[in-house]
Amino acid sequence: MTDSATELRPAVSVDAVMADLQGRVRERLRADLLRHGASPSFADAQLFADVERVLHAGVDSGTSNALLLPELLGDPATWRLETALHLDSHRASAAAAVVTFVKRRLVLPVVRWLFEYNRDNFERQRRVNAVLFACVQELAIETAKLRQEVVPPK
């Protein structure tokens, strides 16, 4: 597959049009946010663009598995959203089989719509959590780089 970069310059460049377009969108968004009471720091267009860049990097990498925070949080049972339904029982094996059968075959079909509604919402929350982890990671990287510039490593 040919890389467009090696081709002749196109008469209309998508990247150039998108850069203009995204610039206009960014400016309108910044004005809207300021009008709605966002931080006065956003009055600085360049600072706003930098903030957007950092957060975008977080959003773009939020679906990957390359995140540090989940490792640092430790035992997943204490923080990870569990969206799967584990149908079991603490009772002895025969009773547990009956209870599990009733849950799976009688109760679950009736409430499946509610379960699926909640699961879909938890999935969204899971995505937001991952994006937030990634944004924190991006911010930490930026901070670490700045620290290295100010105080070079020995």
Residue ranges in contact with another protein by CB under 8 A: 1-4, 10-15, 17-18, 21-22, 24-25, 28-29, 63, 65, 76, 80, 82-86, 108-109, 112, 119
Q: Choose between 23 and 147: whose C-beta lies nearer to another protein.
A: 23
Q: What is the 3-state secondary structure (H, E, C) of 77-130?
A: HHCCCCCCCCCCCCCCHHHHHHHHHHHHHHHHHHHHHHHHHHHHHHHHHHHHHH
Residue 153 three-state SS: coil
Q: What's the CA gap between 7 and 29, in Å, rounded?
A: 34
Q: How far is the CB of 11 from another protein (least distance, A)?
A: 5
Least distance between another protein and beta carbon 47 (Å): 20
Nearer to another protein, 3 or 149 (CB): 3
Q: Which is nearer to another protein, 39 or 63 (CB)?
A: 63
Least distance from another protein to the Cβ atom of residue 128, Å: 15
Under 8 Å between Cβ of 62 and 134: yes
C-beta closer to another protein: residue 2 or 46: 2
The residue behind tokens 């467009």 is: 4
